[in-house]
Amino acid sequence: MASSVLSIASSYLGFPSKSTVEPYKVRDVPKGATQYDSKATVRALPSSWYTSSEIYAIERRAIFSKRWLFVTQRSRFKQPGDFLRYEFAGFDVNIVLDRTGKINAFHNVCRHRAYPVIEAKEGNKKIFSCRYHGWSYGLDGKLAKAPLFQDFPDFDKSANGLLPVHVHIDCNNFIYINLDASSTPIPWSKDFDSVDRQARFADVTFADYELDHTYEMQGHYNWKLLADNFNECYHCKTTHVDIPTFFTIDLHDLDAKDGHMQHDSGTTEEQRRKGLSLSTTYFFPNASMNVTPHFMMIQKFLPSSAAESRMSYEIYRNKKSSEEDFKLISEMYARVMAEDKDLCAGQQKNLDAGVYEAGELHPRWEKGPLYVQSQVREAVTEHFELEKKAGKQIWPAKHVPTAVGGDEEDICAALERCGDDRKELVW
């Protein structure tokens, strides 16, 4: 399996198509343009990239460990100790408001024996206490108590706080996290420069939107299928009867730049008068934010394996809007998202069957999925080359204490490299 996956990866990292352009290097595709030859179809990523555990593993290292991830709204944290827990791609992260008013984020991992410090999904805590052995931490992540360890004069409490996660809050109070263990992750602006200063936000007062409810849909689908699906409306006419109410399908286009895509829904004057004007932004790799005068939705695609993901939704309502205006758009969106879930589950079932390799995509009507796939390809290719040069896997999110010796890790690495069935992974 590893051999076939890596051979396919090698042939597809260059994204073969009928275009002579190297599209995975194009990071600015304005409305009205495509990143490919507009007169030729484009070959999509191969099916293995949606089913392979090896591809999923390198995405964890190359994307979810290194990129800024759009998560939630600052308004959800009202009192010191308010926390939210997010699980995705094998990672478990707590975001919390501390007593100074600062938003902090930490891996949900006790520094003693790695048990989760928090087991609830959200709530309020004055201190984080691990129920396994009683180690406890402040809202700033500092170790407060380690029972019986006070007997060891060389035990350094300051070196045993919760493992930190980088946090960025944009000018509209949206929260992003970055799991890179280094002190200098990629700059937030590299992917999201000015995303919070879009001209179409001029009439939006984000402080007026309050959380109404959340929900999730678990399913058998790769997270990229969900991203591909959300970022095109080629399927809307045949699937979503609600879409024309708030979306002009034939006018849909998007402006893709660096790590985000700004969708243009072709809003008509009649839709605008009804309060159905829509501004949609996709934040690579796995989140989007849709806002109308009465409704806002934060959507996240949270993978748990190569072919299992959760579609996670935070639904906000404008506190100045009527119940009727809010429900008109919120209920339509709920139906559309459920329809998309069924589409992606059907795709994944056939991808798993092993009879389909890759399809040809439309450079105009599927420019969104093509851009998502090019971003994935670029990130995986870059990290693949780094690991090939290093001769080992590179896990950017891993925190390694300076006191840890290398002998044990060397033995593990040597064992992983030996055996004919793993020789392909030795680069």
Residue with tokens 């129920």: 131
146 contacts 139 by C-beta, under 8 angstroms: no
Asked whether the predicted pLDDT for residue 410 surpasses 90, the reply is no
Asked whether the predicted pLDDT for residue 5 surpasses 60, the reply is no
- Using one digit for the tens of pLDDT, what is the confidence trace for 208-254? 999 999 999 999 999 999 999 989 876 777 777 667 676 777 767 78
- pLDDT at position 31, please? 61
When mean pLDDT is compared across 95-99, 289-293, 354-358, the lowest value belongs to: 354-358
Instruction: Look up residue 67 and give its two tokens.
Output: 């990129």
- Using one digit for the tens of pLDDT, what is the confidence trace for 156-185? 999 999 999 999 999 999 999 999 999 999
209 contacts 317 by C-beta, under 8 angstroms: yes
Model confidence at 278, pLDDT cuts 50, 70, 90, reads confident
Model confidence at 263, pLDDT cuts 50, 70, 90, reads confident
User: Span 367-374, mean pLDDT?
Assistant: 89
- pLDDT at position 362, please? 79
β-strands 122-124, 82-88 pairing: antiparallel
- pLDDT at position 37, please? 59
- pLDDT at position 248, please? 73
Model confidence at 404, pLDDT cuts 50, 70, 90, reads low
How far apart CA 326 and CA 319 sit, in angstroms, is 10
Model confidence at 6, pLDDT cuts 50, 70, 90, reads very low
Asked whether the predicted pLDDT for residue 312 surpasses 80, the reply is yes
Over pLDDT 90: what percentage of the chain? 62
User: Span 359-387, mean pLDDT?
Assistant: 88
Asked whether the predicted pLDDT for residue 294 surpasses 50, the reply is yes
- Using one digit for the tens of pLDDT, what is the confidence trace for 115-167? 999 999 999 999 999 999 999 999 999 999 999 998 899 999 999 999 999 99
User: Span 92-114, mean pLDDT?
Assistant: 97
- Using one digit for the tens of pLDDT, what is the confidence trace for 11-47? 444 433 443 334 445 566 666 666 665 667 788 899 9
User: Span 87-101, mean pLDDT?
Assistant: 97
Asked whether the predicted pLDDT for residue 339 surpasses 60, the reply is yes
- pLDDT at position 304, please? 96
SS (H, E, C) the chain: CHHHHHHHHHHHCCCCCCCCCCHHHCCEECCCCCCCCCCCCEECCCHHHHCCHHHHHHHHHHHHCCCCEEEEEHHHCCCCCEEEEEEECCEEEEEEECCCCCEEEEECCCCCCCCCCCCCCEEECCCEECCCCCCEECCCCCEEECCCHHHCCCCCHHHCCCCEEEEEECCCCEEEEECCCCCCCCCHHHHHCCHHHCHHHCCCCHHHEEEEEEEEEEECCCHHHHHHHHCCCCCHHHHCCCHHHHCCHHHCEEEEECCEEEEECCCCHHHHHCCCCCEEEEECCCEEEEECCCEEEEEEEEEEECCEEEEEEEEEEECCCCHHHHHHHHHHHHHHHHHHHHHHHHHHHHHHHCCCCCCEECCCCCHHHHHHHHHHHHHHHHHHHHHHHHCCCCCCCCCCCCCCCCHHHHHHHHHHHCCHHHHHHHC
Mean pLDDT of all residues belonging to the chain: 86
